[in-house]
């Protein structure tokens, strides 16, 4: 270590030190997760509906209700499985998207602009990158927990039959939460009020829930819309999740994983950059 | 470690410290030292550059130029390590409103890498010290402003920092809460904590600070103990004459004749002099007819007025 330093020129050494200052610490960021968990222990009742109950209500309403209406026609697009079994894995990831997006919106903005506790945290040994990494990790963890609950319900009701497939679906929900949570955090840390969130949810999140292969195959969309759909993370999550649920092999499985990771990692880097810009003036 | 033999090292050392935001210079090349164990103040009006200076010291605002060393280290390169030994109290509260009073402390201790057992012990100590023990389990939101401020200070002390930094700590507090806070800070100082604060209240600076710098328009305009500053830049007594109808019409020659020096404000004339009563008598002899008048000892307010020609709350 010291031998390396002694031959490194002073200027690049301090540049290295500056980069080390800005990068997330290997372990310190977990205390941000600890903080968020402490808050969650106090107010978890408030998010029970949106995290656990809401997805089941949608599944019951659309899967069973709409399923009856679709009836035998469903088999043509579902490849033989019931409509509820067709949309359940997709609904799981679109719920993961919605929960990740809302968890990355108000709670983040509040800590940046309203109660401002992030200002206090960056004045401790933690840095801006630790705060972002910790916040995103918590959001991903929370969404994954909700997805695991959903998967258990699917297994218990027999809508999903394979436990290993269910585990795969939960993993896909994790990646989807990362792919949406991180860019959304990056957006939230630039905001002064919550007005911008209405745009995101109305113009991006809600349409995506419909046009990403959730309720009908993407191939039924016009070609341009198909391209657009594949540029967003949810379509990849839906494709992966359904493949795990129905046991149908995917041609480009790793590409879908890569797309989700790209969104997540890109979002995290953007979040760190934008949060630093806001906090470290 | 750092404060070994040769000469007493400053905990904070700034030379030519500068911060620019685009074309606006918030801090324009200031020099100062903060020594171990002292109570050091930045006194000045809003916008003088005090908060920006504090942020640079706390390692959350990279400087534009100049040198800055805290514990002998550069905050741009060793920020995390430095921040681990500094407690920061922001001007606006930054507490978590959903957590309880005690939880706010527990969570914060983890950020400094403390283990849970020592955080719990320290938290209870601090709650006791800041008279918050009976509210430990309560949520933060309904607490009074004074209590929230005391909790913020308690939280900043969780890891027993070497330096405590407070940005305008008593702004918005009622007089009783202010005095409670001043007592707490003086106890801390006696316990060996180095304290740096910013304020635009001259009485606060005068009461608390061993040494202070007066800042105005991004620069330091004076430095010393409150007593030194008053002796150097102000006369022994001050005569204040009030003219509710304005002071523009008063002849400068008349004002010059009353005391050693004078400052003309919108509705007041402040006369620096050896003997206020005698100066008042001279003012009447010169035909001035103030609505009211008072004589007092010189304060830091007069120092600031003398140095900048303006009052602190302008």
Go through the domains of chain B in sequence order and give each one's CATH number.
10-225 (3.40.50.300), 235-297 (3.30.70)
Distance set, CA B26 to CA A244, B244, B312 (Å): 58, 35, 18
Coil/strand/helix, residue B35: strand
Distance from CA of A79 to the nearest CA of B (A): 49
- For residue A279, the chain B residues in CB contact (below 8 A) are 60
B99 has a chain A CB within 8 A of its CB: yes
**Mutation target among B94, B100, B108, B112 for the A interface, most CBs of A within 10 A:** B94
* Residue B249: Cβ within 10 Å count: 7
Q: Rounded CA gap, B19 and B149, in Å?
A: 28
Contact B155, B108 (CB under 8 A): yes
Q: B167 to chain A, minimum CA–CA distance in Å?
A: 13
CA distance linking residue A40 with residue A31, whole number of Å: 14
| Closest C-alpha among A189, A180, A184 to residue A259 | A180
Q: Which helix (H) or strand (E) holds B216?
A: strand B211-216
Q: Say whether pLDDT at B7 is over 60.
A: no
Ramachandran area for residue B24 (φ above 0: left; ψ -120 to 50: alpha; else beta):
beta
Q: Which residues of A touch B (CB under 8 A)?
A: 14, 17-18, 21, 25, 28, 31, 34-35, 38-39, 42-43, 115-117, 119-127, 279-281
Q: Is B77 at the interface with chain A, CB within 8 A? A: yes
Q: Which pLDDT belongs to residue B117?
A: 97
Residues of A in contact with B74 (CB under 8 A): 14
Which residues does chain A have within 8 Å of residue B92's beta carbon, measured at their own beta carbons? 116
CB of B155 within 8 Å of a chain A CB? The answer is yes
For chain A, list residues with pLDDT below 70: 1-13
Q: Of the candidates B60, B78, B110, which has its C-beta nearest A122's C-beta?
A: B60
Q: Between chains, do B79 and A21 touch, taking CB under 8 Å as contact?
A: yes
User: Rounded CA gap, B72 and A251, in Å?
Assistant: 59
Distance, CA of A40 to CA of A51 (rounded, Å): 13
On whether any CB of chain A is under 8 Å from the CB of B116, the answer is no
Contact check, Cβ <8 Å, A280/B61: yes
CB A271 within 8 A of CB A185: yes
Contact A229, A217 (CB under 8 A): no
The confidence score (pLDDT) of residue B187 equals: 93
Q: Which of B79, B94, B155 sits opposite A127 (nearest CB)?
A: B79
DSSP code, position B162: S
Alpha-carbon gap: A173 to the closest alpha carbon of chain B (Å): 28
Nearest Cα of chain B lies from the Cα of A126 at a distance, in angstroms, of 6
Confidence at residue B199, expressed as pLDDT on a 0 to 100 scale: 93
Is the CB of residue B61 less than 8 Å from the CB of residue B200? no
pTM of the model: 0.90
Window from B80-94, B122-136, B285-299 with minimum mean pLDDT: B285-299
Q: Model confidence over A172-217: pLDDT tens digits? A: 999 999 999 999 999 999 999 999 999 999 999 999 998 999 988 8
The mean pLDDT value for B248-252 works out to 87
Tokens 């509040």 found at: A110
- Least Cα separation, residue A124 to chain B (angstroms): 5
Please give the Cα distance from B87 to B106 (Å, whole number): 15
* Contacts with A108 from chain B: Cβ below 8 Å: none
**B178's tokens:** 């202010």
Of the two residues B161 and A18, the one the predictor is more confident about is: B161
Residues of B in contact with A45 (CB under 8 A): none
Count other C-beta atoms under 10 Å from residue B254's C-beta. Answer: 16
Q: Do A124 and B84 touch (CB under 8 A)?
A: yes
Query: What is residue B8's predicted lDDT score, i.e. its pLDDT?
Result: 59
Q: Among all residues of chain A, which has the CA nearest to that of B103?
A: A38
Q: Please choose, from the candidates A221, A223, A203, A202, the residue with its C-alpha nearest in 3D space to the C-alpha of residue A212.
A: A221
Q: How far is A33 from chain B (nearest CA, A)?
A: 10
pLDDT at B114: 96
* DSSP secondary structure letter of residue A25: P
Reported confidence tier of residue B314, pLDDT bands at 50, 70, 90? low
* B71 CB-near residues (< 8 Å, 6+ apart): B2, B11, B82, B85, B162
Segment B141-159 mean pLDDT = 95
- Does the CB of B137 have a partner CB in chain A at under 8 Å? no
Cα(B206)–Cα(B227) distance, integer angstroms: 8
Task: Output the CA torsion A223→A227→A230→A231 (10° steps).
Answer: -160
Q: Where are the domains of chain A?
A: 27-279
pLDDT at residue number A249: 86
- What is the distance between the alpha carbons of residues A234 and A231, in angstroms, rounded to a whole number? 9
pLDDT per position as a tens digit, B170-223:
988 899 999 999 999 999 999 999 999 999 898 899 999 999 999 999 999 999
Residue B143 vs residues A116, A146, B103, B152: alpha-carbon distances, Å? 17, 34, 15, 12
- Tell whether B106 is within 8 A of chain A (Cβ): yes
When scoring B98, B99, B115 by the number of chain A Cβ atoms within 10 A, the one with the most, hence best to mutate, is: B98
CA of A272 to nearest chain B CA: how many angstroms apart? 14
What mean pLDDT, rounded, does chain B reach? 92
The reply to whether residue B94 touches residue A120, judged by beta carbons under 8 angstroms, is yes
Q: What is the distance between the alpha carbons of residues B268 and A172, in angstroms, rounded to a whole number?
A: 73
Angle between helices B101-111 and A30-43 (to 10 degrees): 160
Chain B residue with the nearest C-alpha to that of A128: B60
Q: Are A245 and A89 in contact (CB under 8 A)?
A: yes
Q: Do B111 and A14 touch (CB under 8 A)?
A: no
Residue B211 DSSP code: E
| Look-up of token digits 């899967």 | A63
Shortest Cα–Cα distance, B310 to chain A (Å): 29
B84 interface with A at CB cutoff 8 Å: yes
Q: Does any CB of chain A come closer than 8 Å to the CB of residue B95? A: yes
Per-residue pLDDT tens over the stretch B8-60: 579 999 999 999 999 999 999 999 999 999 999 999 988 899 999 999 999 99
Nearest to A124 among B83, B90, B106 (CB): B83
pLDDT score for A2 = 41
Report d(CA A37, CA B35) in Å as an integer. Answer: 40
- C-alpha distances (whole Å) from B276 to each of A69, B236, B254 are 96, 9, 16
Instruction: List the alpha helices (DSSP H) in B191-313.
Output: 202-208, 226-233, 252-256, 276-285, 300-308
């Amino acid at each position: 270590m010291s031998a390396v330093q002694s031959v490194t020129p002073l200027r690049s050494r301090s540049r290295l030190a500056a980069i080390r200052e800005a990068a997330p610490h290997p372990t310190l960021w977990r205390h941000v997760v600890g903080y968020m968990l402490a808050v969650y222990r106090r107010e978890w009742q408030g998010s029970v509906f949106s995290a656990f109950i809401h997805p089941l209500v949608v599944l019951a309403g659309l899967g069973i209700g709409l399923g009856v209406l679709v009836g035998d026609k469903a088999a043509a697009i579902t490849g033989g499985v019931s409509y509820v079994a067709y949309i359940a894995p997709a609904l799981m990831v679109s719920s993961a998207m919605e929960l990740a997006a809302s968890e990355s919106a108000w709670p983040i903005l509040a800590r940046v602009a309203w109660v401002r506790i992030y200002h206090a945290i960056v004045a401790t040994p933690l840095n801006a990158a630790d705060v972002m990494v910790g916040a995103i990790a918590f959001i991903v963890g929370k969404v994954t927990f909700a997805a695991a609950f959903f998967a258990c319900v699917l297994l218990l009701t027999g809508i999903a039959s394979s436990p290993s497939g269910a585990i795969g679906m939960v993993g896909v929900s994790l990646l989807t939460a990362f792919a949406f949570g991180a860019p959304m955090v990056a957006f939230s840390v630039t905001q002064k009020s919550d007005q911008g969130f209405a745009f995101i949810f109305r113009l991006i999140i809600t349409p995506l829930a419909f046009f990403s292969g959730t309720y009908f195959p993407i191939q039924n969309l016009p070609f341009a819309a198909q391209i657009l759909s594949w540029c967003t993370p949810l379509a990849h999550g839906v494709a992966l999740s359904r493949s795990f649920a129905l046991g149908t092999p995917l041609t480009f499985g790793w590409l879908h994983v890569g797309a989700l990771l790209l969104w997540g990692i890109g979002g995290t880097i953007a979040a760190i950059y934008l949060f630093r810009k806001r906090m470290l003036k | 470690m750092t404060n070994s033999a040769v000469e007493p090292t400053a905990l904070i050392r700034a030379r030519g410290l500068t911060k620019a935001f685009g074309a606006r210079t918030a801090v324009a090349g200031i020099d100062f030292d903060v020594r171990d164990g002292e109570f050091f103040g930045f006194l000045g009006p809003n916008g003088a550059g005090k908060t920006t200076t504090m942020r640079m010291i706390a390692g959350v605002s990279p400087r534009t130029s100049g040198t800055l060393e805290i514990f002998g280290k550069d905050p741009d390169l060793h920020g995390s390590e430095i921040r681990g030994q500094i407690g920061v109290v922001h001007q606006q509260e930054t507490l978590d409103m959903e957590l309880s009073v005690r939880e706010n402390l527990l969570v914060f201790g983890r950020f400094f890498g403390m283990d849970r057992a020592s955080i719990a012990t320290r938290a209870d100590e601090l709650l006791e010290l800041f008279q918050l023990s009976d509210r430990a389990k309560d949520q933060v939101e309904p607490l009074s402003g004074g209590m929230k401020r005391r909790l913020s200070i308690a939280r900043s002390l969780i890891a027993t920092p070497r330096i405590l930094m407070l940005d305008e700590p008593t702004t918005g507090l009622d007089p009783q809460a202010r005095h409670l806070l001043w007592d707490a800070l003086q106890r801390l100082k006696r316990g060996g904590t180095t304290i740096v604060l910013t304020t635009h209240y001259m009485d606060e600076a005068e009461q608390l600070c061993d040494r202070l710098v007066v800042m105005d328009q991004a620069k330091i305009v004076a430095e010393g103990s409150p007593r030194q500053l008053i002796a150097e830049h102000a006369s022994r007594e001050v005569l204040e004459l009030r003219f509710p109808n304005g002071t523009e019409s008063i002849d400068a020659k008349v004002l010059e004749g009353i005391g050693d020096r004078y400052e003309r404000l919108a509705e007041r004339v402040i006369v620096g002099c050896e003997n206020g009563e005698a100066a008042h008598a001279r003012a009447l002899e010169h035909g001035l007819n103030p609505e009211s008048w008072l004589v007092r000892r010189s304060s830091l307010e007069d120092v600031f007025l003398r140095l900048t020609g303006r009052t602190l709350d302008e």
